[in-house]
Amino acid sequence: MIKLDNHPSGRHFLQIPGPSPVPDRILRAISLPTIDHRGPEFGVLGRKVVAGMQQVFQTKHPVAIYPSSGTGAWEAALANTMSPGDSVLMFETGYFATLWQKMAQRLGLETEFLALPGTDDATGLPNSWRHGVQPELIEQRLRKDSAQRIRAVCVVHNETSTGVTSDIAAVRRAIDAAGHPALLMVDTISGLASADYRHDEWGVDVTVSGSQKGLMLPPGIGFNALSPKALEASRAARLPRCYWAWDEIVEMSASGYWPYTPNTNLLYGLSEALDMLLEEGLPKVFARHRRWSAGVRAAVAAWGLPTQCADDKLHSPVLTGVITPRGVDADAVRRLIHERFDLSLGTGLGKVKGRMFRIGHLGDCNDLTLMATLAGVEMGLKLMGVQLAGSGVAAAMEHFST
């Protein structure tokens, strides 16, 4: 029989880019007794988490909070703003951008999926999966849309499958430069609360996020941050929606309640996560993740391996994708590391399956967690017979001790 908790000694190292390790403080908050979700105590909790999430999204406008995974929040963004047959312009940056595009098709939308063409000579991997969104390609496409059929531009801020971020403010500028009225919808499911994100300042209409990454919670809460333009679009949109409908949820959650049973205990956890993040201050939280990311990259560079992100300005603060040498199955490396060292790394997804693995540096994590993680990876690579140029662990120690 397979045991569910098979970690005989010490703590499991969950270094995937989400779900991230949950701090004890949050686990304790989640264990509070469930309360009446229509009673007065709940209203205090509901109002607190909505106001706190507005601070995290850096918005003054409504935030809808769903008992759902991130996929539900993706669907909510589209179902509330689009009508059957509407056109959306999306950009291929990796696996999650691809899944969102497939969802839009399944919802009856016409999708156009822009991508950076070609493959990278050194690795043989698609360029589009090593770089961010190209705002100039979006601008060019929108300029050609003289009938203004495109209703939304949808992009992923922190592509969890590759470890590449995209410049969202530049996408907004591209839409404005083309003089196009399309909504801007952004997935920052894995970026929020680890990477700087500014819903209002960057002119985003709908931001989609989830609980199990930078918010350090278990999976199960989805978010839509809205703009007045998105709310206006939702009044005319005709895709059917009920569970996801913004009108009721936004109206009720202003007073701290939900139109249906919310996930009370996860909301306790969210309240605790907000206390932790806002006590530390978002700029410090972002700097902490950037520093971890640079430390992990120092290790990868010392090993002599390429990162999946090929653009130095766009490395994710949340995760690092590591490309294994040709002929070395990245999933075999991951499996060995899991079996020998009880360390979970993220698998390569979609077009990069077997070619890379992902190291998460988010959630309940610190310099020493990452040192142990890098030691596990280095030992695993050596056990797999990969010739390393040098010690990544030594390079990361240097980075973390300055």
Q: Which residues bind ligand PLP (CB under 6 A)?
A: 18, 69-71, 96, 156, 160, 187, 189-190, 210, 219
Question: Which CB atom, from 267 or from 396, has the smaller least distance to ligand PLP?
Answer: 267
Contacts 24+ apart (CB under 8 A), 102-106: 103/71, 103/74, 103/75, 103/78, 104/78, 104/154
Residue 223 CB, shortest distance to ligand PLP, in Å, is: 11
Question: Which CB atom, from 94 or from 306, has the smaller least distance to ligand PLP?
Answer: 94
Question: Which CB atom, from 69 or from 391, has the smaller least distance to ligand PLP?
Answer: 69
Residue 205 CB, shortest distance to ligand PLP, in Å, is: 17
DSSP state of 348: P
CA trace torsion 106, 214, 263, 71 (10° rounding): 0
How many CA atoms lie within 13 Å of 327's alpha carbon, on the beta-carbon side? Answer: 4
How many CA atoms lie within 13 Å of 75's alpha carbon, on the beta-carbon side? Answer: 16
Question: Which CB atom, from 241 or from 358, has the smaller least distance to ligand PLP?
Answer: 358
Residue 235 CB, shortest distance to ligand PLP, in Å, is: 27
Is residue 372 classed exposed, middle or buried when 0-12, 13-18 and 19+ CB atoms within 10 A define those classes? middle
Which alpha helices (H) appear in 59-200, and where do they start and end? 70-81, 95-106, 135-144, 168-177
Residue 30 CB, shortest distance to ligand PLP, in Å, is: 17
Residue 219 CB, shortest distance to ligand PLP, in Å, is: 6
Residue 163 CB, shortest distance to ligand PLP, in Å, is: 11
Residue 207 CB, shortest distance to ligand PLP, in Å, is: 12
Question: Which CB atom, from 101 or from 234, has the smaller least distance to ligand PLP?
Answer: 101
Residue 159 CB, shortest distance to ligand PLP, in Å, is: 6
Closest CA to 216 of 362, 316, 72, 346: 362
Q: Which helix (H) or strand (E) holds 112?
A: strand 110-114
Rg (CA), the chain: 21
Residue with tokens 């430069």: 177
Cα gap 269→103, rounded to integer Å: 29
Residue 352 CB, shortest distance to ligand PLP, in Å, is: 14
Question: Which CB atom, from 95 or from 341, has the smaller least distance to ligand PLP?
Answer: 95
Cα gap 245→231, rounded to integer Å: 11
Closest CA to 320 of 213, 196, 160, 189: 160
Question: Which CB atom, from 305 or from 362, has the smaller least distance to ligand PLP?
Answer: 362
Residue facing ligand PLP at closest CB distance: 70
Cα gap 183→99, rounded to integer Å: 19
Which alpha helices (H) appear in 262-329, and where do they start and end? 264-280, 282-303
Question: Which CB atom, from 59 or from 212, has the smaller least distance to ligand PLP?
Answer: 212
What would you measure as the largest C-alpha separation in the chain, in angstroms? Answer: 63
Question: Which CB atom, from 87 or from 211, has the smaller least distance to ligand PLP?
Answer: 211
Q: Residues 319, 320, 323, 324: is their CA dihedral positive or negative? A: negative
